[in-house]
Amino acid sequence: MSTVHLLRFDSPIGRIELLGDDEAITSLSIERDGALPHDDLPERPNALLQRARIQLDEYFAGRRNDFDLPVRPAGGTEFQRAVWAELARLHWGEATSYGALAAAVGRPGSARAIGGAVGANPVPILIGCHRVLASDGRITGYSGGAGIPTKLWLLGHEQIGFAA
């Protein structure tokens, strides 16, 4: 079994925690209420997590639009993994709707289930779940970091328009 690696660092949206093994990043958490999921564990960085930190720092500084990192989201059902794969197709500045995601994974009319899968994304930012809006362009929620304020920051950073 692979060694689990852990790295934490500061960002404009709060502290970030990366988990991964020797081959891929498996989790990215954004600080919520001053805490990260594994604050009680010592850091165990590796070259991949250090590379991810550099790319995320570049993203936050506006110098990177795409990530070149192996990502393997931890857990998830087959349905959730299909939704995450569709999210991974989105690029900087692109947005989609819950309904469009539902259609893309062959489950039209299941926007609520799509919302649950989007919210369960274990690798936000790298798999851009912040890029999902309601069909009328409204922001309906965000499970990372401080919630909607974090999503607003990410949308603004990528210059993605939304309805008020």
Choose the catalytic residue: 129, 132, 154, 155: 129
Give the Cα separation of 134 and 130 in Å (integer): 12
b/e burial code for range 42-64 (CB count within 10 A of at least 16 → b): eeebbebbeebbebbeebbeeee
Helices (H), 6-77: 47-60
pLDDT in tens, 63-95: 999 999 999 998 999 999 999 999 999 999 999
Which tokens sit at 141?
Answer: 């929620």
- pLDDT, tens digit, 9 for 90 and up, residues 149-161: 999 999 999 999 9
For domain 78-157, say whether CATH 1.10.10.10 is its number: yes
pTM of the model: 0.95
CB atoms within 10 A of CB 86: 21
Q: How far apart are CA 78 and CA 84, in angstroms?
A: 10
Query: What residue spans define the domains of the chain?
Result: 5-60, 78-157
User: Any catalytic annotation for residue 160?
Assistant: no
Query: How many beta carbons lie within 10 A of that of residue 77, not counting itself?
Result: 10
Distance CA 132, CA 72 (A): 20
Q: What is the pLDDT of residues 119-134, one digit of tens each?
A: 999 999 999 999 999 9
Neighbours of 112 (CB within 10 A): 9
Q: What is the pLDDT of residues 9-28, one digit of tens each?
A: 999 999 999 999 999 999 99
